Amino acid sequence: MKIGFIGLGIMGKPMAKNLVKAGYSLMVNNLTPAPVEELVACGAEAGTQREIAEQCDIIMTMVPNSPQVKEIMLGEDGVGAHMKEGSIFVDMSSINPVASKEIAAELAKRNIEMLDAPVSGGEPKAIDGTLSFMVGGKQEVFDTCKPILEKMGASVIRCGDVGAGNTTKLANQIIVACNIQALSEALMLAKMADVDPELVFAAIKGGLAGSTVMNAKAPMMLEGNDKPGFRIDLHIKDLNNALECAHTVGSPVPMTAAVQEVLQWMHAHEGGTKDHSAIVQYYEYLTGVKVAK
């Protein structure tokens, strides 16, 4: 079995490396050459998108959003036009589930199966191979691809048919964003009430308010560390997709809309490339008080 991997960014590069480490035959492609060269040094093979389409049994993408996935797969002379019948496309990007269904329908005309399999966990979990995969697609296709995904993730769950994976990812991103905003407000409240935010975090992290989000992001806020594990601009993209999907199906999302406005403010104030934990800086701007020591 030969796997094609397109998109070697912050997440894609370490994910692809884990597949090489697991012994898979991998052909890689990226817009910029440096990550490709790095993967080739690890044992992968470089290839054009057409070569990947023609030679690989399973093709994976890890790119920013719906337009990029559509262009790669369905664009003029795109990958989908050259894939072998019976091959499988696994999109690990986080995109609008409506787009996932559209791509799957076009590929089905050529007898090509598809899974939408977005991930959660950020760069650290991509590196150590403990991502969470939320997958949509046929059970038999999922069963074929699950062992491969397990080389990149600690959790691989089928959530339903194509589109279910990205719907689940949107739900995940809503929860993460709202958690980070609530955490920012809480730590700022502690600081302005002359209570040490670090002690507040230590006291509550083991209780009902504790969460993976809190454990990952509170230390960053307390250190003043906004180095991106997951950039604000990417979270804006995800919440745009969540809002669009929610409006399409008629689901109320007032909290999502509120935190999206904070993220947009950060983007407008040169914060789009920062980690999404930098939401706390919005509150620091409003109050003139720093949470970090």
Tokens at residue 75, please?
Answer: 């664009």
Rounded to an integer, the average pLDDT of 92-109 is 96
CA–CA dist 247, 98 (Å, integer): 12
pTM exceeding the 0.75 threshold for the entire prediction: yes
What is the distance in angstroms between the CA of the first residue and the CA of the last residue of the chain?
52
Rounded to an integer, the average pLDDT of 183-200 is 98
Tokens at residue 183, please?
Answer: 């955490």
Average pLDDT, the chain: 96
Q: How far from 92 is each of 11, 166, 284, CA to CA, in Å?
A: 10, 9, 35
Tokens at residue 160, please?
Answer: 């339903």
pLDDT in tens, 266-288: 999 999 999 999 999 999 999 99
What percent of the chain shows pLDDT beyond 90? 95
Q: In the chain, helix, strand, coil percent, each to 5?
A: 55, 15, 30
- The predicted pLDDT at position 122 comes to 84
pLDDT in tens, 105-153: 999 999 999 999 999 988 889 999 999 999 999 999 999 999 999 999 9
User: 28 forms bridges with which residues in the sheet?
Assistant: 5, 46
Phi, psi of 102 (to 5 degrees): -65, -45
Is pLDDT of 229 > 90?
no
Is pLDDT of 76 > 90?
no
Annotated active-site positions, please? 169
